[in-house]
A and B are shown apart, each in its own frame.
Chain A
Amino acid sequence: MNKALLEVSGLSMRFGGLLAVNGVSLTVREKEIVSVIGPNGAGKTTVFNCISGFYTPTEGTILFDGEQVQGLKGHKIARKGMVRTFQHVRLFKDMTVIENLLVAQHLQMNTNLLSGFFKTPSYRAAEDRAMQNAAFWLKKVNLLEMANREAGNLSYGQQRRLEIARCMVTHPRLLMLDEPAAGLNPNETKELDELICNLRDEFDVSILLIEHDMSLVMGISDQIAVINQGTPLASGTPAEVRDNPDVIKAYLGEA
């Protein structure tokens, strides 16, 4: 079994009187795709927000590569190699597609003002590398022709792919996707599934995936965790989860 990359245990998040997440535990091993599923309002996005540092969890520990990260600021966590997408796409809409990818590589750039003004060799080298990296990922997600378009002018599916590319240019170790298939047509969804598997196989990135729709994740996930009303309902391989009577009751009973 691969080494554990992300270990979440006993995670709880309280908003005033609402216990949105209640004792959720998760483990993502290297090169694994782990999915979190559950009905709307189950607390999936809240779990993401806690892991990625946008909320400080009320309780619980989060270990990334063996190091405690709970309570760290969002940008600090991102710098450790955990990047995410958002349920409602968050692109830099008035900037071009390439600019979106360049901003994402800010930390790998030479940000020294003087080097920038005088275009020193190290500055140029960093810019070139960033451009090539951007081009590589644009090709990968099939957006090369859109490179100089404003991100806000892309179609919804393209925006989703750009958001994933924007994460990937940072060379993350853990990629967190919040309902990446929401709003996509069946064709686009299939492409997305292929892309996600490809990311794991070729680029050594582990993936934590939120999906609202259970059938979608069955095929690609190594592990699935089901949350219902903030509490963990079941977890295991897709087959185990599918046959779990609680899950069947919660899911099929409602649907």
Chain B
Amino acid sequence: MNKPIYSALFSAVVMLILASFLLGVDLETQGITLIPELAGDQTWLAIGLATLVVFLFQLFREQIASLIKLPSLPSIDSMLPEEGPKRTKLTRIAVALVIVGMFIWPFFASRGAIDLATLTLIYIMLGLGLNIVVGLAGLLDLGYVAFYAVGAYTYALLSLYYDVSFWVALPISGLLAALFGFLLGFPVLRLRGDYLAIVTLGFGEIIRILLNNWTELTGGPNGISRIPKPDLFGLEFSRRAKEEGNVPFHEFFGIPYDASHKVIFLYLLAVILVLITVYVIHRLTRMPIGRAWEALREDDIACRSLGLNPTVVKLTAFTMGASFAGFAGCFFAARQGFISPESFVFIESAIILAIVVLGGMGSQVGVILAAILLTVLPELAREFQEYRMLLFGLMMVFMMAWRPQGLVPMKRPHLELKTHE
């Protein structure tokens, strides 16, 4: 009987202290000094009310929980036909339709929508890549954005200093990010759980700070601008060819210049990159290496007892996961035309991780859905810009309470056994 009272009091006090400092004090500038001043009565009233709400909520938590029974989400599985050839065929048709739709859609959509879709596709790629490390191999990586940065800066710097084209830089970005993944893998081999998370977090920050301070090479906080867009077999998507001897796309086909060509092209390129990513990772999960990742997540001691070297398995997960961030980064740099360390702050890692967790660890469909949700929703709710993080947090809390296994939990592959008598 005592317990809820204590925990409610504790929560209320924490709430009061935090809110008092964060909201209850205003900083006034006088000349060059900051003078703290107490906020207005209204603010304090709000803080008091909020504290009361927290107290009461914590006190009657159990009762509230039993009053509001959250309806459980219907399982998507139950709506589909039985496992078997029919199901496989249906899935195939659905996937084919979605893919065809993705290729046709941009020709009818607005420029803004296509831009948003392209951004979503980048996050899908990042989510799928991080899913290898976190969802499959079970290694909590909070610095994933570092590999994204490595990929982006690889292309930006190569094009700035050596005039390397997007298509040459793309594989190099992937390889270099993979190399960084491999290098990060070494020091963290012995770590797990919280420790691993902290070290990877630090790694992400180191990369960002390095990019920020190595001004001679990276331009520091000013970033790198005028990064060239990808071309299509030498055809550029600009009004006039930037490179000597290149022909712009519209001149080649004898059509009038239209800026949306470029947008659609970038979108289609992102679609292709994502499709390749999905396919490659899908295959990986059905190959020995993918199974080893999952086995490592499940039980590393059992892995060792069966002759698997956990070190090698971990390193491959880090390396492969990072390479996808590298590809995504290269594409991101090409699309934006401008990058700076601002684009690779911790919150990006957090969003990518949220995509993986929200989607359902290990599940590719889930990750894709979550990426769409987490990039499209904030755009739709532009007016609530200021409350973005609040909504984001609320959503995570609800998901954890309601459906901790994610939107679409990972499905195990069904393997047919052929027994020879």
Contacts and interface: CB of A to CB of B under 8 A. Distances in A.
A92 B294 CA distance: 8
Nearest to A149: B412
Contact of A148 (B298, B299, B412): B412
Interface residues of B, number: 30
A106 B312 CA distance: 13
Contacts of B420: 132
Contact of B289 (A113, A134, A167): A113
A242 interface: no
A83 B412 contact: no
B259 interface: no
Interface stretch (A33-41, A95-103, A195-203): A95-103
Given A106-B291, A131-B415, A134-B417, 17 more contacts: A73-B309, A75-B310, A84-B305, A90-B299, A90-B305, A94-B298, A95-B412, A99-B291, A103-B303, A103-B306, A106-B307, A116-B288, A131-B417, A131-B418, A132-B420, A135-B418, A136-B419
Interface residues of A, number: 45
Given A113-B289, A131-B418, A91 B299 contact: yes
B306 to A, nearest CB: 5
Contact of A92 (B283, B302, B304): B302
Contact of B419 (A73, A83, A86, A135): A135
A148 B415 contact: yes
Nearest to B280: A117
B295 interface: yes
A95 B417 contact: no
B185 to A, nearest CB: 17
Interface string B375-418: 00000000000000000000000000000000000001111011
B417 A147 contact: yes
A93 B292 CA distance: 13
A19 B418 CA distance: 51
A23 interface: no
Contacts of B310: 75
Given A78-B304, A117-B280, A135 B417 contact: yes
A170 B303 CA distance: 13
B307 to A, nearest CB: 4
Interface of B: 280, 283-284, 287-289, 291-292, 294-295, 298-299, 301-310, 412-415, 417-420
A166 B415 CA distance: 17
Contact of B308 (A98, A106, A116, A117): A106
Given A94-B294, A111-B288, A117-B280, A78 B306 contact: yes
A64 B263 CA distance: 65
A139 interface: yes
Contact of B417 (A83, A144, A166): A144
Interface in A105-121: 106-107, 109-111, 113, 116-117
A165 interface: no
Nearest to B287: A116
19 contacts: A74-B304, A75-B309, A75-B310, A90-B301, A94-B294, A94-B412, A98-B417, A99-B413, A103-B308, A104-B306, A106-B292, A110-B288, A111-B288, A116-B284, A116-B287, A132-B419, A139-B419, A148-B415, A170-B306
A139 B308 CA distance: 25
Nearest to B283: A117
A53 B111 CA distance: 61
Interface in A45-89: 52-54, 73-75, 78-79, 83-84, 86
Contacts of A92: 294-295, 298-299, 302
Nearest to B302: A90
Contacts of A117: 280, 283
Given A90-B299, A95-B412, A144 B305 contact: no
A132 B418 contact: yes
Contacts of A139: 419
Contact of B298 (A53, A95, A107, A111): A95
